[in-house]
Amino acid sequence: MSEQVFRNARVVLADEVVEGSVVINDGIITAIDAGPALAGEDFDGDFLIPGLVELHTDHLETHYRPRPGVFWDPVSALHAHDVQIAGSGITTVFDAIRIGSDVDMPEMRQHAGQLVAAVRDAQAKGWMRADHLIHLRCELPSADVIEHFESFVDHPTTRLISLMDHTPGQRQFTSLETYKLFYKRQLGVTEDEVERYLAAALAQHEQFSGPNRRYLVQRARALNLSMASHDDATLAHVEEGVADGVAISEFPTTLEAASAAHDAGLAILMGAPNVVRGRSHSGNISATDLVKAGLLDILSSDYVPFALLQAAFVLPQRVDGLALPQALATVTRNPANAAGLDDRGEIAIGKRADMVRVQVMDDRPIVRSVWREGIRVS
């Protein structure tokens, strides 16, 4: 690969923004210079930022299952997902794939298997724009989550698991009424159907959640997999995660849980849509409030890919004293470090040339170009 030079850019480094140029050789950043350069691609004052790193997005699943009961070709779903991910400035994505069947999805192993196979095959063939890795979302109350886990864990693309329990009355939905309203709207079902779903979910939790958690934690430790807890709501939830060896607290629902996770040294991850909207879709704590309290490390696009970049540019406008480099760290350097990817997430000499050209129009960031290891992918 020939040398590339990007000039006349506002380059966002770890702690400052400099006007200058960046030099790339063989997909690696080799020089960063302040001031004008005579040759190279002219950015005309646009921002040059690190490629975004996404640890938890459900977006692939929504392309695969665009409507209840409708399942798309997995490779076509992955292609559509990849185009939108890269077009949103995300150069590394952990595709969150739920494992463990429930009454809503009794054939989850088949569906998860098709998605995992599509990601691994496409990654091996090198046709995807972003770098795709697997995040297994392990639903602890499921009777077959261990079987699913063992089917998909033994591959280098599987790098992260989360320990989840969406049982009504647990974690995300401590209020059963909030839970009922959410699922009636989400699934388009009746009150009686929700009540039957509720009874089945509670029974599964009692039987399977504890044993499954113990098994998965033991196996993840043996395989040196990164682990995340999910929807921590109490001090006890955080203490359980710390004892298990989790590194990331995903979407804590209360200030108490976020504070405890921070004190324990866990990386706290919240949803970027929460920042953009100014509130949680399920009525839990505001991500912006956690930033103000110094209790947020990582943002995830969750269900809207472009929310990741949008939130990073919104936060300095909402949080006094927060500069753009620090806001962007929540979507670049911090998630990369939490996932053990020390070769990316920052514009620095020796790092991968995963970068995004961003123009701000009417206070909104607009992605103009994206490079992965120095190759333009969008």
pLDDT at 183: 66
361 has a pLDDT exceeding 80: yes
Residues in a beta bridge with 76: none
Please, which pLDDT band fits residue 171 given cuts at 50, 70 and 90? Answer: low
282 has a pLDDT exceeding 60: no
Please, which pLDDT band fits residue 190 given cuts at 50, 70 and 90? Answer: confident
Report, as an integer, the average pLDDT of 206-224: 95
- Region of 160 please: left (phi>0), alpha (psi -120 to 50) or beta: beta
Task: Give the span between the Cα atoms of 19 and 274, in whole angstroms.
Answer: 31
Q: Between 169 and 286, name the one with better pLDDT.
A: 286
Report, as an integer, the average pLDDT of 321-349: 97
Report, as an integer, the average pLDDT of 360-372: 96
378 has a pLDDT exceeding 90: yes
- Least confident stretch, 129-133, 146-150, 170-174, 283-287: 170-174
pLDDT at 167: 74
Cβ atoms 378, 305 nearer than 8 A: no
Report, as an integer, the average pLDDT of 31-49: 94
Determine what percent of the chain is predicted with pLDDT higher than 90: 80
Could you report the per-residue pLDDT of 104-124, keeping only the tens digit for each? 677 888 999 999 999 999 999
Cα distances from 319 to residues 270, 311, 327, 358, in angstroms, run 16, 12, 10, 21
Please, which pLDDT band fits residue 2 given cuts at 50, 70 and 90? Answer: confident
pLDDT at 48: 98
Q: Apex CA 233: angle with CA 228 and CA 239, to 5°?
A: 60
What is the DSSP track for 198-240? HHHHHHHHHHHHHHHHHHHHHHHHHHT-EEEEES--SHHHHHH
pLDDT at 59: 93
Phi and psi at residue 77, to the nearest 5°? -65, -45
Please, which pLDDT band fits residue 326 given cuts at 50, 70 and 90? Answer: very high
Could you report the per-residue pLDDT of 16-37, keeping only the tens digit for each? 999 999 999 999 999 999 998 8
pLDDT at 283: 59
258 has a pLDDT exceeding 70: yes
The predicted model scores a pTM of: 0.91
Please, which pLDDT band fits residue 76 given cuts at 50, 70 and 90? Answer: very high
pLDDT at 74: 97
Residue of 103, 100, 110, 105 lying closest to 142 (CA atoms)? 100
Please, which pLDDT band fits residue 175 given cuts at 50, 70 and 90? Answer: low
318 has a pLDDT exceeding 80: yes
Task: Give the span between the Cα atoms of 20 and 200, in whole angstroms.
Answer: 60
pLDDT at 198: 78
> What value does the mean pLDDT of the chain take?
92
pLDDT at 204: 82
Report, as an integer, the average pLDDT of 43-62: 96
Please, which pLDDT band fits residue 185 given cuts at 50, 70 and 90? Answer: low
173 has a pLDDT exceeding 90: no
Residue of 356, 369, 370, 375 lying closest to 50 (CA atoms)? 356
Please, which pLDDT band fits residue 290 given cuts at 50, 70 and 90? Answer: very high
pLDDT at 172: 60
- Helix, strand and coil content of the chain, in percent to the nearest 5, comes to 40, 25, 35
Please name the fold of domain 51-343.
Answer: TIM Barrel (3.20.20)
Cα distances from 373 to residues 51, 70, 113, 118, 331, in angstroms, run 10, 36, 29, 22, 18
pLDDT at 257: 94
- Return the DSSP state at 266: P
Tokens of residue 262, six digits: 């921070």
CA count, 13 A, side-chain hemisphere, 118: 23
pLDDT at 82: 98
